[in-house]
Structures are given as C-alpha cells and as structure tokens.
A and B are shown apart, each in its own frame.
Chain A
Amino acid sequence: MNELISAFFSYAFLTRALFAGVLIALCAALLGVSLVLKNYALIGDGLSHVGFGALAVAAAANLAPLTVAVPVVVAAAFLLLRLRGRGAIRGDSAIAIFSTSALALGVMVSSVCGMNTDISAYLFGSILSMSESDVILSAVLCGIVLVLYVVFYHKIFMVTFDESFARATGTHTGFYDTLLAVLTAVTVVLGMRLMGTLLISSLIIFPSLSAMRVCRRFGSVVTVSAVISVVCVVAGLAVSYLFSTPAGASVVAANVVVFAAFALTGAVLARRRSRALLAEDSENAERI
C-alpha cells in the first residue's frame, strides 16, 4: 500500500493523472446528477464522440489537441440542445447522428494520415496521456465548472426538478440548459484523454446512478456521487498502474463494483423501510 502511495507521488505522470482525474471525476459526477435526472445522459456520450473527431483532426493537422477539441465540442453541445428543443429530429436520434458522423470523420482522417498511438489512446484512455499543460488547463477549467456549479446549485436543482415551474417563475431555463451542456462539454473533453472517448460517459452516468440507489435527497445524491466518482478514479488508476490495465476501463470497472454494492444496499434499505412502515401501520390500526 505504502509503495503504491509513494509511486503515485514519485512518478510525475501518475501524479498528473491522479490530480487531473480527481478534478474531472468531481465535475463529471456533479453534472451527471442533473443530466441523468433530465434524461440527458446520452449527451455526454455524443459529445465524447464529437471530441474524438476533433482530436483526430487536430492530431492530423499538428495542432494542440485540447485547444481544438474544447471549442468544437462546446459548439456541438449548443447544436445538440437546439436540435432537441426544435424537435425536428428526436433527441436520441440527433445524438446518434452527431456521434457517429464525428466518429467516422475522426477515423477517416486518422487513417488517411496514418493511425498513430495517440489516436488509440484517445479511444480507450491512457494513464500516460496527461501532459503538464493538459493538467494546468484541466485544473483551470474544472475550477470554473465547480465554482459555477456551486453558485447555481439551487437554480440547477429547480430547473432539473421542474422546468415548467422554473420558467413560470421567471427563470431562464434555456440558459441553465446551455450552461449544463457547455460545462459537460468541457468536462468530457478533459476527461477523454484519461478515460477514453468510448468510456468517458460512464464517468458522468455511473456515480449519480449509484448514489440514487441509496440517497433520497438531492443534496446527498450530489455529495455521494462526487465521493463515489473520486474514489473510483483513484481506485481505477491504482489498478491501472499495478496491473497495467487501461486507465479508463479500470475506472469503469471500479464504478461497476460500486454500483452493484449500492444497488444491493438500496434494495435492502427499501425493504427495511417498507417493513417499518407496515409495522407502524398495524400499530396504528390496533390502537383504533
């Protein structure tokens, strides 16, 4: 254990992966709660594929990957929301069209220019992927995501719980939808390098779903999913380092284990609660 801890702090690439991973996991978990509850979970998946396309093009053109991918994916997020709102193409289909065409473009560009290791690392994630400038960019952007989330927390709750009430009382729901989509886009692009394009959406979906098995308040769902997310990233990276498994897959595996544990706990708790309610009920009946 001690060896593992010292490894994390003595290898610069591990420290970087851990630092960025924790920040990204935190953002993904917070945003994930709203996205899952609003049935927007697939947006993360769609955006990550768009991100892959952008990265492939950036690599082919020899540009800095993140500086290309962030604006492209943010623009895609805007477009996706607009398509959903218009209802011209139904939500899920719009996302599917976006993600597959971006993926296709990425694969074509990278095969024409020769598939390099970078691209396959983008698909499945790599613990080695974070450069120093990536980490700085991640830290800054994650900081912005976290601050905005905390500031607008109550508004985000209101809009997630009931969009029509929020709109009726003068809240610009469109603004908060866009905010969520943009923050998600940024988080997805940052996390893609570590987790892989194909797996990053699990970082958004899993922790909040696990938390919802057990928690019954919005506040606790948000807190617990943040904790789960961070713990799973740390555990996944440790496994990845120890057994040389891909980073993204290891983090997802950790999330699957946690989800199973929480689902089980949730079922047991629900059973106990309904039994308690029944007992209370029969007590009341006896009294009458």
Chain B
Amino acid sequence: MALISCRDVTMTYENTVALRDLTFTVESGDYLCVLGENGSGKSTLIKGLLGLKAPARGTIAFGDGLRRNEIGYLPQQTQIQREFPACVSEVVLSGCLNRGGLPFYTRADRARAAEVLEKLELSGLARRSYRELSGGQQQRVLLARALCATHKLLLLDEPVSGLDPVASAHMYELLARLNREEGITIIMVSHDVHGALESANRILHLHTKMLYFGPAEDYFRTELGRRFLGDERHE
C-alpha cells in the first residue's frame, strides 16, 4: 500500500472550494514537489495531510504503518520564532515530544536529538541561541526537529523562502541526501521551482484542481511545465 493515498479529496472553507477532486498517491521513498501559485490550495493540502482540517469529501489514507503524529513537519517560520530565546538543543529536542505520551524526554530522545544534530552538521551549534543563528541555520535546526519527530516522512512548507541562494542550495542538498541515503519520503510545497525540481521525482501541480501529477521528467515536457518554469525564469 502507498504511504499516503488521497482519493477524490475536496476541501472547502465556509463557502469557497480550496481543493477539488484531488487524487494522488505518495510511495515510500518518493520526493514529491507540490507546485502552484498563491491560493492554489497548497496550504490547504498541508492542513489536510496533517489532519488539521478534514476533507469535505474523499479520503486521505496512510499506509506502510505511518501514523499521523509521525509526520516531520517543517512549517514556515513566524516572527515570534526569529526572536525566541531558546537554544538549539531545546528546539530540536521538542521534536521528540510526540513519541510516547510522557511530557518528559527520555534518554533515547536525547540520543536521537544528538544523532540528528550530528547528521545535519549542527553539533557545534547545540548550545547556541536560536535567535542568533542565520536564516539558513535556523531552517536547518527546524529540519532537525522535524527529523526527531519522524523516521519516514518530511512535510516541508516553503523550506527555502527567505534564504539566500547559498543557504537554499545547502538545504536542497541536505533534503536530497536524506531522501537518497535514509529513504525518507519528502513532500515539499514550494514557490522556488528550479531548486526544488532538481531532486524531486514526482510533481503535483495544483490550481484548486489538479493540473498535473506524475514523474518529474515528464512534467518538463508538458506545455504546463514549460510555461510555469518559463514564468519563474522571467521573475
């Protein structure tokens, strides 16, 4: 069974339809990039996948033993966070709280956090304050927290918005490595098509309804794909 299967999913807000008849599947090990303009339903889809909003019609089902609290979510940063007095290890450890019902950290949690910090080359920053880090470092810390919450699936909401080109490239490299070496499934919502497309193997293009879903290589050959990429290039 697929890791995630969405069948005829329609999601609505009071009286507008945000997503219509969406059907797609995500297999374990996929790297899916969700494209679309503002207001195309990307954020709504994220809410649906996270279980924060129920579909009006259709079903979103998890397979391969994935539980809802095992999604490693990387939300967009808020203003509160940028100035938040917390050290890196406090932030990363908080990703472990969804495992088990205890409101405390176990030794295994601490070991896992240390391992993730090591993997993302953050060990040197563990005692540093989050608000003193660069944008790229902050984003990597949030990725580390997401990895503490999951072994299977990362769900990223605009992971490179606000980052400079070097930091963006580094972020994409990390994600590609996690996907390739650890077999972590990645679902990424992004504006930044070019960087995103380098490693994605599936594309989902939304405009309230589904415009394209399929392999990344084929997307570039479609009229839609060429136009979307062309638009981006002119910006």
Q: Which A residues fall within an 8 A CB radius of B?
A: 37-39, 151-155, 157-158, 161-162, 164-165, 167-171, 212, 215-219, 221
Contacts and interface: CB of A to CB of B under 8 A. Distances in A.
Given A170-B69, A215-B85, A217-B90, 17 more contacts: A38-B80, A39-B80, A154-B94, A154-B105, A161-B94, A162-B75, A164-B75, A165-B146, A168-B50, A168-B52, A168-B71, A171-B97, A171-B98, A216-B87, A216-B132, A219-B87, A219-B90
Nearest to B52: A167
Nearest to A270: B132
Interface of B: 50, 52, 68-69, 71, 73, 75, 78, 80-81, 84-87, 90-91, 93-95, 97-98, 103-105, 129, 131-132, 142, 145-146, 149, 155
B71 A161 contact: no
A92 B67 CA distance: 38
Contacts of B80: 37-39, 161
Contacts of A221: 85
Contact of B87 (A158, A164, A217): A217
Given A157-B94, A169-B98, A217 B69 contact: no
A157 B50 contact: no
B90 A165 contact: no
Given A164-B75, A216-B131, A217-B87, A155 B97 contact: yes
A207 B98 CA distance: 31
A154 B145 CA distance: 14
Nearest to B84: A161
B87 A161 contact: no
A217 B80 CA distance: 15
A136 to B, nearest CB: 29
A101 B149 CA distance: 45
Contacts of A158: 94, 97
Contact of A217 (B71, B75, B94, B129): B129
A172 to B, nearest CB: 11
Contact of A154 (B68, B97, B129): B97
Contacts of B145: 165
A218 B142 CA distance: 16
Contacts of B68: 170
A154 B91 CA distance: 10
B168 to A, nearest CB: 21
Contacts of A171: 97-98
B84 A37 contact: yes
B44 to A, nearest CB: 14
A154 B103 contact: yes
B84 A154 contact: no
16 contacts: A38-B80, A152-B103, A153-B103, A154-B94, A154-B97, A157-B86, A161-B81, A165-B142, A167-B52, A168-B75, A168-B155, A169-B97, A216-B85, A216-B87, A217-B85, A217-B90
